[in-house]
Amino acid sequence: MSRTFLYTEVQASVPFAHFDWGQANPSIKQAPGLINKTWLSGIGNSSLGGLYLFETEDDALAFARGPFAEEARRAGAAATTRIFDAEIVAAASADLGSPFFTAQQNANP
- Per the structure, the count of domains in the chain is 1
pTM beyond 0.75: yes
Amino acid letter, 98: S
| Domain CATH number, residue 102 | 3.30.70.100
**How does residue 33 score in pLDDT terms, banded at 50, 70 and 90?**
very high
Say what the pLDDT of residue 1 is: 55
The predicted-structure confidence for 70-102, as pLDDT tens digits, reads as follows: 999 998 999 999 999 999 998 898 888 888 776
Q: Which residues contact 101 (CB under 8 A, 6 or more apart)?
A: 90, 93, 94
For residue 88, what are the domain limits?
4-107
